[in-house]
Structure 1
Amino acid sequence: MDDEIRTAAEAFEADAMPRVHEVHSDPSSRNACDQEIPQSVKDKPVTQKSPAQWAYERVVLYLKNFEEQLDNEHEVAMGFTGTEAGVLRIEGMGYFDPDIVTFYGADQSGGRTQLIQHVSQLNVVLRALPKMVQNAAPNRIGFRLVEDLEKSGDDPA
């Protein structure tokens, strides 16, 4: 807490702004809080977003942060908890208001896969997997999703 005096409008605006805090054992590790938050995410107060939109926007920022730490031989995938389904190589992501988040992709054998999850059950394990095609550039879905947030302004889906 600081001694700075704020107007009611400034306090309300600060309360509506997204906040993130992370600490890692390696101080040089890149955190999601190091991500530039797209203006469209900041423009709409959290109180005006559905749980699905708010979860989607934050997972997008975590995806991009994770991808920025990968080499050109790996792509992002997500592991499943409590199931034998394995992993999903993330190729797309979306939400369905008010409370559904979905991930599109492929499993380790290349089979089309989609996860549809209620935001109250959302937990995402990001994993680095070797690229599917050795000579192709790695797929960077997090970067494309952030670009979509930046250009969409009002509705990232």
Structure 2
Amino acid sequence: MTGDGPPRARAVHADPAAPASPEQQPLPEAVTRKPVQQKSPAEWAYERLILYLKNFEEQLDNEHEVAIGLTGTEAGVIRIEGIGYFDPDIVTFYGTDMTGARTQLVQHVTQLNVLIRALPRETAETPPRRIGFQLARELDNG
């Protein structure tokens, strides 16, 4: 964050035909309603995580869903079913692990390291869950 202007972001991709990443797109109105300087680190991290998840999901086929790999831990992968934050500095991921056990990861924003992954859908009969799109709608509504 710098001064009173919009936040700075930049990304360069080796493939010029690569889809635009969140750093290369304008911030949605839902994210710019409140100035960055008035957001807690948790709220600002939460909003940007939503942008990354939605962008990742836009590139998935119907056979895959988004999950996160936990970096710096042996806990493995969580199929994301929800994300939250608790001001001023906590971000929480809700979901299930690869065995189907309910899982919740609570992280301080200074320790936030998330590996976004594609996992095959749990069942072929159900459509893939798109948590990033759902979270983005909630931002718009709220």
Q: Same fold (TM over 0.5)?
A: yes
> 1:126 maps to what in 2?
116
CA distance, structure 1, for counterparts of residue 73 and residue 99 of structure 2: 17
What is the count of residue pairs matched by the alignment? 139
Counterpart pick for 2:18 among 2, 12, 29: 29
Cα drift, residue 109 of structure 1: 1.2
Deviations, residues 96-153 of structure 1 (Å, cap 9, x unaligned): 000000000000111110000000000110000000011211000000111011110x
Alignment of 1:35-74 (within 5 A): 35=25, 37-74=27-64
> 1:18 maps to what in 2?
7
Q: TM-score, normalised by structure 2?
A: 0.92
Gaps of 5+ in 1: 1-11, 153-157
Q: Is the Cα contact below 8 Å between 2:68 and 2:79 reproduced in 1? A: yes
Q: Tell me how large the CA RMSD over aligned residues is.
A: 1.3
Runs of 4+, deviation exceeding 4 Å: none
CA distance, structure 2, for counterparts of residue 131 and residue 63 of structure 1: 16
Q: Is the Cα contact below 8 Å between 1:38 and 1:149 reproduced in 2? A: no
Q: Is the Cα contact below 8 Å between 2:9 and 2:24 reproduced in 1? A: no
Identical columns (%) = 63
Gaps of 5+ in 2: none
Look up the equivalent residue of 1:29 and give its one-letter code: A
Deviations, residues 13-50 of structure 1 (Å, cap 9, x unaligned): 5x1x2332111111111212354533121111111000
